[in-house]
């Protein structure tokens, strides 16, 4: 769809030719604004069924999305298996959009900060398009992911002394000094990731809750955007409640939600690397997502995530990373009624 970009902080607008995902005035994130209201021509089950609802670009149609939604042994909990994506996490939905735009703007290098999954996914799609990826890794990223990123995808990795937010600063600086496309948790990624909401509401139209693990809150905000589009097009009636889940040891969004205060940086101390983000980029939009759908934030302990990860493997023979198991752990803490249908997004399986 035709669109323009708008700064979420200062409101400045840019055309689709603006080859950045951040504001040239204040440096904050931009939002993709469509020129017309999204109209759902058809409701499909696969990612590319919704291409016409993504920002205009020449997309490479690789296999993607259309992940299974399975019943769990609790009749009111369904599991969305995002580890079925090519690099085993939901990140692929966003990477494919970002890389298509970076190519359109004629970049040869992309740069990003990552705790692991983002790098894995971006490096995969960058290589498909013949682009070079330079990645700043902060925190305790998984060693196996890193080896694959370096050896299979030929990406350059720079280890950062510090956490994800420190890596983010360095990636931002690198992009402004070199001709590199700053990729990561920005507006184009969010557009790709909103498709998980389309798929869920097509697979489970009666869903009452969608449980979303939160690191940078891009998926959270993307799910909300997808639901808003579905509602404005009359495809769904009521909003399912959006339930954000964070690790107890890294829960800046949960604290802000409970105390009704602004989000403050919290040093990540969780082993769930995919959600170990001390200051979520899409935090304020994430809070909007929760509040506007009468949802809530649930925090889960390291033990609870590990227990669900083990159970999940035993039950389905599938590997979920800790962040992926977090949603299942959160579902146990929600007081679901018998006729509720909760969908937990099992966000990834890179272990």
Considering the complex, state which of residue 28 and residue 41 has its C-beta at the smaller distance from Zn ion.
28
Q: Judged by CB under 5 A, which of 10, 33, 152, 233 binds Zn ion?
A: 10
Stretch in the footprint of Zn ion (CB under 5 A) among 1-9, 56-64, 261-269, 300-308? 1-9
**Tokens standing for 350?**
């890179």
Minimal distance in Å, beta carbon 127 to Zn ion?
A: 32
Stretch in the footprint of Zn ion (CB under 5 A) among 20-28, 202-210, 296-304, 312-320? 20-28
Minimal distance in Å, beta carbon 16 to Zn ion?
A: 17
Stretch in the footprint of Zn ion (CB under 5 A) among 3-11, 133-141, 162-170, 204-212? 3-11
Number of other residues whose CB lies within 10 A of the CB of residue 273 = 24
Considering the complex, state which of residue 23 and residue 330 has its C-beta at the smaller distance from Zn ion.
23
- Please identify which residue in the block is written with the tokens 């035993």: 314
223 binds Zn ion (CB under 5 A): no
Q: Judged by CB under 5 A, which of 13, 26, 39, 147 binds Zn ion?
A: 26
Considering the complex, state which of residue 25 and residue 233 has its C-beta at the smaller distance from Zn ion.
25
How far is residue 261's CA from residue 257's CA, in Å, rounded to a whole number? Answer: 7
Minimal distance in Å, beta carbon 12 to Zn ion?
A: 5
Q: Judged by CB under 5 A, which of 5, 21, 22, 23 binds Zn ion?
A: 23
- Please identify which residue in the block is written with the tokens 């700053």: 182
| Sites for Zn ion among residues 230-249 (CB under 5 A) | none
Residue from 159, 289, 318 nearest 214 by CA: 289
CA 147 to chain centre: 23
Considering the complex, state which of residue 5 and residue 254 has its C-beta at the smaller distance from Zn ion.
5
Considering the complex, state which of residue 9 and residue 70 has its C-beta at the smaller distance from Zn ion.
9
Q: Judged by CB under 5 A, which of 3, 5, 7, 246 binds Zn ion?
A: 7
How far is residue 255's CA from residue 248's CA, in Å, rounded to a whole number? Answer: 10
Minimal distance in Å, beta carbon 11 to Zn ion?
A: 7
**Tokens standing for 97?**
């959009």
Considering the complex, state which of residue 21 and residue 202 has its C-beta at the smaller distance from Zn ion.
21
How far is residue 103's CA from residue 147's CA, in Å, rounded to a whole number? Answer: 25
Considering the complex, state which of residue 26 and residue 233 has its C-beta at the smaller distance from Zn ion.
26
Q: Torsion angle, CA of 92/351/153/54, rounded to 10 degrees?
A: 0
The count of residues interacting with Zn ion (CB under 5 A) is 8
**Tokens standing for 344?**
């937990």
- Please identify which residue in the block is written with the tokens 């990834």: 348
Compute the Cα dihedral for 64, 306, 345, 92 and give only its sign. negative
* Distances 157 to 120, 126, 153, 184 between C-alpha atoms, Å: 11, 14, 11, 15
C-beta of residue 79 within 8 angstroms of C-beta of residue 342? no
- Interface contacts to Zn ion, rule CB under 5 A: 7, 9-10, 12, 23, 25-26, 28
């Amino acid at each position: 769809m035709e669109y323009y970009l708008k700064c979420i902080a200062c409101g400045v607008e840019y055309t689709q030719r603006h080859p950045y995902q951040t504001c040239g005035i204040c440096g904050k994130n931009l939002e993709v604004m469509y020129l017309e209201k999204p109209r759902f021509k058809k409701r499909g089950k696969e990612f590319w069924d919704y291409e016409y609802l993504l920002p205009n670009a020449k997309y490479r149609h690789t296999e993607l999305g259309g992940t299974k939604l399975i019943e769990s042994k609790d009749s009111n909990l369904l599991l969305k298996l995002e580890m079925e994506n090519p690099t085993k996490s939901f990140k692929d939905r966003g990477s494919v959009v970002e890389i298509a735009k970076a190519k359109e703007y004629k970049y040869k290098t992309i740069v990003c900060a990552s705790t692991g999954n983002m790098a894995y996914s971006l490096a995969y799609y960058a290589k498909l398009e013949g682009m070079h990826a330079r990645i700043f890794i902060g925190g305790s990223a998984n060693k196996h992911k890193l080896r694959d990123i370096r050896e299979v995808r030929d990406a350059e990795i720079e280890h950062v002394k510090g956490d994800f937010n420190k890596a983010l600063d360095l990636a931002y600086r690198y992009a402004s000094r070199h001709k590199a496309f700053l990729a990561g948790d920005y507006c184009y990624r969010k557009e790709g990731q909103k498709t998980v909401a389309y798929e869920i509401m097509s697979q489970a139209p009666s869903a009452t809750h969608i449980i979303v693990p939160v690191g940078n809150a891009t998926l959270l905000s993307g799910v909300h955007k997808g639901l808003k589009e579905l509602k404005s097009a009359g495809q769904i009636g009521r909003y399912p409640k959006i339930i954000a889940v964070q690790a107890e040891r890294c829960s800046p969004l949960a604290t802000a939600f409970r105390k009704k205060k602004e989000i403050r940086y919290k040093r990540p101390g969780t082993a769930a690397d995919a959600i170990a983000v001390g200051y979520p980029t899409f935090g304020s939009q994430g809070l909007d997502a929760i509040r506007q759908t009468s949802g809530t934030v649930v925090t889960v302990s390291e033990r609870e995530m590990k227990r669900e990860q083990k159970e999940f493997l035993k039950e389905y023979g599938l590997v979920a990373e800790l962040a992926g198991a977090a949603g299942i752990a959160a579902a146990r803490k929600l007081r679901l009624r018998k006729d509720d249908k909760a969908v937990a997004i099992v966000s990834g399986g890179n272990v």
